[in-house]
Every structure is written in C-alpha cells, then in structure tokens.
Amino acid sequence: MSRPRTVFFGSDAIALPLLDWLVGDEGAAQVELGAVYTQPDRPVGRGQKIQANAIKQWALARGLPVHQPEKITPEVRDAYAGSAPALALVMAYGHILRDDFIAVAPLGTLNFHASLLPRYRGASPIQTAVANGETQTGVSLMRIVRQLDAGPVADREAVPIGPLDTALEIEQKLAAACVPLLARALPRLLAGGLEFVEQEHTAATFCRKLNKEDAGLDFARPARELAARINGLNPWPAAQVEWAGQPLKFGLADAVAGAGEPGEVLGADAEGLLIGTAEGLLRVRRLQRPGGKMLAAADFLRGSPISAGTQFASLATASLVGSTPFTGVRRASA
C-alpha cells in the first residue's frame, strides 16, 4: 500500500521530536514525509549572522526538499498543489495559510497548537500559560481555519507545569508531547476515523506577541504572580529590574511566606534573593547581569552582593491574556 505524501510546515525547534517520529520506523511505515516548508534564513544573535533555522537544518541533513517562501503567493500555492500532497502537518510555521492553500491536502491541513484549546489561542501560548500561573498546559491537534486557532480539535496531550518550570522547560515538554499525540491520531486519520470536535468558543482566551516592555515587574502584585511571570518570561524577554544603573535579569523564582515593603530586598536564604511584594516574599533563584551568565542566586550574590534594604522600582505591567484577540494579532497564522 502506498504511503500518503505528507508535507510539514514549521520554523521552530519545538517540532523536531515530531519530525524525528515521522521519519522513524513507526511514522515512516504510515506516511512519506516528502518536503518541508519553513521560514527564510534570518539574522541570528548579536552578530546578526544569517543562519538557517533548526527545521531547515534537520531537513537538509536528511535529504528532504526545503521550501522557504518569503510570502505565500498564488505561485507558491500552485507549486505546492502540483506536488500532490495528501496530508499537511503544521507547527509554529509563522505564515498565514489561506483557504485555498489549506484545502490542497485531501486528508487535511492539521496544526499542533501549544495549548489546551480553547485556552491560550494566539502568539505566545507557552510563555503565557506559565506566566499566568497555570498548573497544566498541553498540545492540541486541530484543523486550521481562518479564525485565530479556532479550528475543530481531534485530540489533546496534557503536560503538567511544575512550580519551578520555566517556559523553556515547558516548551521541551510540549515538544515531546507531540509524539504520542500524533502516534494516536495518525492511524485513525488514515483509516478515516479521526473525529474533530468544535471548540467551545465562549471559553476561549487569547494571548499576544511578547515584547521587551513585558520584562518589567510590579512589586505591588502578590509574590506568586510575580514568580509565575518571571518563570514564564524565561528565556525571553526575561523579567528584569534596574540595579546599580544596569538591568538585572531574573531567571527563576518562587513565592515564600513573609512580609516586606514591595520591591525591598530583605536579604537572602540558601535558595535565593528575598524581595517584598504586596503578598508574601518573592524568592529569586537565578540572576544575570549584563554580559554575564544566568547564575544560581548563591553564586551570583557571592560575586555581586545585593544589600538588604535595596529598593527595586516597580513598573506597570500589561496583561498577557484576554478574552478577545489582541489588536494587531495576525489571524490564521500557523
């Protein structure tokens, strides 16, 4: 029996475990991965050197055709349709896929969205779930539609969020969670038995694209909220305060019992720097100064002591989540 030709669309390393499964024994026995579409090479890092992303590097290492359109034009759509794909899988691609493009693959154009839909539709579901203090997130397998992450869902794979998990750790867990999700769904899809259920749209929440201004902290908030935000914004944009005229990044935090003036350093314990908030103490477990590495608090404070009584200024912070799409969020991006 011929294996359906499958095309993958994605631009982020979160999809690498999924791709490895597709070309491994179990996946390759069911479908043929025929091509990869990904974003054009971009400048990376401080030196802004043009570099291929992890998805392109993975595909080239396996001899797969790679397509990197700057825009999805009618010509790109026609060339894609001419390759006769049976199935399209999408994760963190970064381009808007229009209806005529979505309709090309007869088995469907399916997206892996990094949240338990309908919660956290939008551009930053991983960071926002952690920053919002959630204890669980996951990956949803859905059909792409023109509305933002609003397509019907076939299955979900849940992932717990631990109290000291950052967005970086949760991204790795979600990457791994795509594998059992696809392993369950693909045989049912190929047999014609995979059912897609409409989302409960009234329960939808939305997250937005993060920016550098989100790095500020408002110490007039409870410590548990600040700790969640710090963990959710690691590694980018990385929560920070001003100290000795320079930005000081916070990389990991939790909340402990105690009281102090919001923003005031009370000292340190064996695990971290203690800062007063509106409710409880914020314990910052990892810190980084400009040009340095992110260090455990004890190591950082050994070389750069922060005196009790130091006052960190608060900055007003914007909400990362809303009940409607944020203005300016691009629709139907995959």
- CATH assignment of 5-206, given 3.40.50.170, 3.40.1350.10, 2.40.50.100, 3.40.50.1000? 3.40.50.170
Report DSSP letters for 314-327, one per residue.
P-----SEESSPPT
What is the average per-residue pLDDT within 245-254?
97
Q: How far apart are CA 131 and CA 258, in angstroms?
A: 22
* Tokens 């970064």, located at residue: 94
pLDDT value at position 146?
86
For domain 217-303, say whether CATH 1.10.3720.10 is its number: no
What interhelical angle do 16-23 and 167-190 show, nearest 10?
Answer: 30
Q: How far apart are CA 21 and CA 25, in angstroms?
A: 8
| pLDDT tens readout for residues 49-60 | 999 999 999 999
What interhelical angle do 54-61 and 16-23 show, nearest 10?
Answer: 20
pLDDT value at position 328?
52
pLDDT value at position 332?
37
* Tokens 């690498």, located at residue: 16
**Chain region(s) in the chain for CATH 3.10.25.10:** 217-303
DSSP β-bridge partners for residue 141: 112, 155
Q: What does the block give as tokens for 142?
A: 């859905």
Cβ contact 31:186 at 8 Å:
yes
Of 64, 42, 66, nearest in space to 53 by CA:
42
Report the sign of the C-alpha dihedral through residues 209, 146, 172, 36, in that order. negative
Of 188, 17, 199, 6, nearest in space to 105 by CA:
6
pLDDT value at position 334?
54
pLDDT value at position 329?
40
**Chain region(s) in the chain for CATH 3.40.50.170:** 5-206
Residue, of 96 and 265, whose pLDDT is higher: 265
What is the average per-residue pLDDT within 83-109?
96
| pLDDT tens readout for residues 128-157 | 999 999 999 999 999 999 889 999 999 999
- Is pLDDT above 80 for 263? yes
pLDDT value at position 165?
98
Q: How many CB atoms lie within 10 A of CB 195?
A: 9
Cβ contact 230:237 at 8 Å:
no
Q: What does the block give as tokens for 327?
A: 């203005």
DSSP β-bridge partners for residue 121: 206
